[in-house]
Structure 1
Amino acid sequence: MPLAADIAAGLVLVIHVYIVLLETVLFDSRGKRAFGLTDEAAAVLKPALSNQGCYNGFLVAALAIGLFYPDPVTASAFKTFGLVCVTIAGVWGALTVKKSILFIQTVPAVVALVLGYLA
């Protein structure tokens, strides 16, 4: 079960690496398309999404520490913190931006949290 929990957390990490890239360096090419933005909307939202990408980068960092830090107690704390933050952000995003965020972000994070708890 601990391996399944780490795989699930790793999946959440990979999803968020991709989100960071979409919101920052890939915004003009893939990001605006992925978020369904017109050129006009993308021009207005680009700075805000880049900032949001920075915050998602912090979630990636927490999850990476949680998966790779050698001390299991510290690693577990970082992993739990990162997954709880992703869960909360995903719920908020689903309520305020797009319902599919619930399935893209929140569900994988909750699965990883449950698997971690069961491990």
Structure 2
Amino acid sequence: MFANLFVVLTALLHAGFLVLEMFFWTKPAGLKTFRMRPEHAEATRVLAANQGLYNGFLAAGLVWSLVQPDVGFAFQLKLFFLVCVILAAIYGALSVKPRILLVQGGPAIVALVFTLLAF
């Protein structure tokens, strides 16, 4: 139960990242969240939308892992998508800012631990 709760949290976070990066990057919410100037946001808008789309794929994969009726395959899906999220968070922490590991990777790491303990 805790594993699935953190998988849901991770999926919701990535769905939120999709919305922020694809639709609100150049809007006040995006500018404030990512601490950007409007000129910089506009110059990177397409890159952010691409990034948001990838976050959407991660969210979709995590949701798929929750609705998959085959327990073994659901476990494999959770492992795959959670590890993808964690690797992306590590890369973001090293290349952009360390806080990304906590915000993006934290819930995924907890979900992965609980998923491994539950199986």
**TM over 0.5, yes or no?**
yes
- Aligned counterparts, 1:1-119, within 5 A: 3-29=1-27, 30-119=29-118
| Residue identity opposite 2:59 in structure 1 | V
Segment of structure 1 superposing worse, 89-98 or 70-79? 70-79
The Cα offsets for residues 36-85 of structure 1, whole Å up to 9 and x where unpaired, read as 11011101111100000111111011101011111111211111111000
Q: Secondary structure at the match of 1:81?
A: helix
Is the 2:90–2:101 Cα contact (8 Å) retained in structure 1?
yes
Runs of 4+ displaced beyond 3 Å: none
Listed as ranges, the gaps of 5+ residues in structure 1 are none
CA distance in 2, matches of 1:76, 1:65: 11
| Residue identity opposite 1:28 in structure 2 | T
CA distance in 1, matches of 2:44, 2:23: 14
**Aligned sequence identity (%):** 39
Structural RMSD (CA): 0.9
Q: Secondary structure at the match of 1:54?
A: helix
TM-score by length of 2: 0.94
The Cα offsets for residues 16-43 of structure 1, whole Å up to 9 and x where unpaired, read as 1111100012223222221111011101
